[in-house]
Structure 1
Amino acid sequence: MYRTSNQAYGSGVVTRNKEQMNQKPQDVDPIRIGIENIGNTCYINSMLQCLFNTPAISTAMKSYRDNKNSSELFKQFYKIWFSIQAEIEPEHNDIIQFKKLMNQHREFDNFNQQDCIEFFHVFLDIVNTAFLTQPFFGQLTYQINCQSCNNSSKQTEQFINLSIYIQQACKLSQLIYDYFKPEQLASQEKCRKCQKTSPLTRRTNLSASPMVLVIQLKRYDQRQARSNYAIEIEQSLVLKGFCDQSPQYKLYAVINHQGYTIYSGHYTCLIKGKNCWYNFNDQRVSEYSNKVVDEELQKSQNSYVLFYQRQ
């Protein structure tokens, strides 16, 4: 899992403003304007389309006024969004400038294919703008128990996406359940209470559910070998058994990836509209029927990043 740090994203407390808390998925179609690929930038284009169509972000962007304290990267992000809102394809120079500003992070200082979830993290880190990051913030609580004396300790950690390995063909809900099930840690540390070196058990709890739940399906291992297991992507999720509440989520966007490694191939994204789905493939935007997408999500081999809106 990619970890967030308090230093990178501001306050260590998960907070929501009232306007963001009231945001619900919009019952409208996304604006069907693509973004030019200027050289292996499909990973950026796909993620930008998902961000532009995240309800809390699109609402905040519409009321945004130029702020001299905003980062240059955010201002360029706004220019691209503004063009799309005006139903005009973003200008080539604006896209070039956005990429140049991303180049300040050395990992993106090239025109190689990159991982869209790494771009997601680095982009949010650089812009450091609350209304962009807050919708994705959640919190995990880890409870570690000593099996000798049952002494327990807790620690919390923020996240902006869950990263889940695929080890079998199954439903997404099964992968999530396995992610949160108790695990035995291979630790040789002594228990602070009983001073015995004994197995430790860790339980993970979703102690603060994000407004937007982002799930990365990790199809590649450390050797970049790809898992082609078909996963059934449920469009509705209810998180029970490992959460302080039982939040309900609806799927509204999917980033698909085709390729032998995460650093090659091609990224596209699907965005849910009022009566159908739309496939964004760089500059090309196509309409897909609900039936076609429903069938694709039943046995998905290319889904990589999923966006769910809390209901």
Structure 2
Amino acid sequence: MGAAGSKLEKALGDQFPEGERYFGLENFGNTCYCNSVLQALYFCVPFREQLLQYYTSTKSPSDADENLLTCLADLFSQICSQKKKTGVIAPKRFVQRVKKENELFRSYMHQDAHEFLNFLLNELVEILEKESRATKSSPETSSSEKSVNGPINGLANGTKIEPLVTWVHKNFQGILTNETRCLRCETVTARDETFLDLSLDIEQNSSITSCLKNFSSTETLNAEDKFFCDKCCSLQEAQKRMKIKKPPHILVIHLKRFKYIEQLSRYKKLSYRVVFPLELKLSNTMEDADSEYTLFAVVVHVGSGPNHGHYVSLVKSHNHWLFFDDENVEMVDESAMQTFFGSSQEYTSNTDHGYILFYESVSTIGTS
């Protein structure tokens, strides 16, 4: 990528951020799903900083200790310690580890970037929790920290044990409240659940704001869907809604672009036009106040169907937008984002659509 790299350096000129590195990632035969997500995570600055901090604080692991977390930390460390400002890195060790850990990613078939992101974050959480349990090896601690995400009700020496919160949780985890109101006695039953990303149903000519509004809209449970009310001790009509109780620092939104069509007996890609803003407010979905977010990365699916295609990513770094397509990196204008909203026509030649959106809470943004 010599020519492309020098072109990028030329385009940025004196504005090239000090200490920053813009490296493409080599594709090992259909690993664009992995490369696009890795770029989005690398430019998620709080996550990158904590991962690198983890890397420097842990001793160099032996091959026996190697896992997905150490491979990811090693890859990020390699990128940021390059002498050159631009170039290409081969994430071979990381990709090999992914394939070793999950047979789903072993074939050369087209994979889903959202499935990969989900797998990766959950795997990192699991590794960090195991390490934390190993360092607190007292019998009470290890037995009471077995839950991954949910609240822990166990008691040790009469004290309630809080759920283990890793730095991955601190970045990506939010809390949803599922509220159900019995229409007979008006009793509200609330159940909290954690999430690392939000998957949203999409509609034609809509926006992220309207998708979030639909996500939190009230649904009536009646007929065969009646709710068993503990107070009434019987099935009753009820109203149900989902709200965000605690928003995450990094809000990851997955657009459900692949829908199963029963008549066709297969999945179809929805090329719907869904506008995603550069600045997002969570108002209708929130329990209390608004939360403000700014867009910093988009994973784009290129192609007309779910079983083939390509993934690229756009990331914001130091007020510049960059386009990453495996080995190639180039600067793009902020206005280029609109080309990835989707199409208002059912049949279109444009198949490049925003698929996973990464927003950072305005309150957490520092110099990044």
Which of the five TM-score ranges fits, normalised by the shorter chain?
Answer: 0.7 to 0.9
User: Distance between the aligned counterparts of 2:335 and 2:208, measured in 1?
Assistant: 19
Residue 53, structure 1, aligned to residue 49, structure 2: no
Q: In structure 2, what is the Cα distance between the partners aligned to 1:111 and 1:133?
A: 31
Instruction: Give the stretch that moved more between structures: 234-243 or 122-131.
Output: 122-131
Which of 166, 175, 195 aligns to 2:211? It is 175
1:307, distance to aligned residue in structure 2 (A): 0.4
Larger % of strand: which?
A: 2
The answer to whether the Cα contact below 8 Å between 2:341 and 2:353 also exists between their aligned partners in 1 is: no
Give TM-score scaled by structure 1 length.
0.83
Q: Report how far residue 71 of structure 1 moved.
A: 5.1
Show structure 1 runs of 5+ residues with no match.
1-26
1:31-50 to structure 2, matched below 5 A, reads: 31-50=21-40
Q: Distance in 1 between matches of 2:53 and 2:94?
A: 22
2:236 is paired with a residue of what secondary structure? coil
Q: Does the CA-based 8 Å contact 1:124-1:133 persist in structure 2?
A: no
**Structure 2 CA distance for aligned equivalents of residues 62 and 136 of structure 1:** 17
Structural mapping, 1:41-120, within 5 Å: 41-64=31-54, 65-67=56-58, 72-87=67-82, 92=90, 95-103=91-99, 104-120=101-117
2:253 match? 215
In the alignment, the residues of structure 2 paired with residue 90 and residue 184 of structure 1 have an alpha-carbon distance, to the nearest angstrom, of 53
Partners of 2:276 and 2:211 lie apart in 1 by 10
User: Percent identity over the alignment?
Assistant: 27
Which residue in 2 is equivalent to 1:308? 359
Q: 1:96: Cα distance to partner? A: 2.8
How far apart are residue 263 of structure 1 and its match? 3.5
Q: What whole-Å deviation, never above 9, does each CA across 1:76-120 have from its counterpart, x for those lacking one?
A: 11221122113465654xx33222211222222222221111111
**Is 2:197 the counterpart of 1:161?**
yes
Corresponding residue for 1:241?
284
User: What TM-score do you get using the length of structure 2 for normalisation?
Assistant: 0.71
Give the stretch that moved more between structures: 81-90 or 197-206.
81-90
Q: With a CA cutoff of 8 Å and minimum separation of 6, indicate the structure with the bigger relative contact order.
A: 1
Q: Comparing 282-291 with 248-257, which one deviates more in the overlay?
A: 282-291
Cα distance change of structure 1 residues 127 and 292 upon mapping to structure 2, 3 Å threshold: closer
Q: Name which of structure 1's ranges 193-202 and 175-184 shifts more when overlaid on structure 2.
A: 193-202
- After superposition, the Cα gap between the structure-2 partners of 1:28 and 1:150, relative to the gap in structure 1 and judged at 3 Å, is farther
What is the aligned counterpart of 1:258 among 302, 313, 318? 302
Matched AA of 1:107 = L
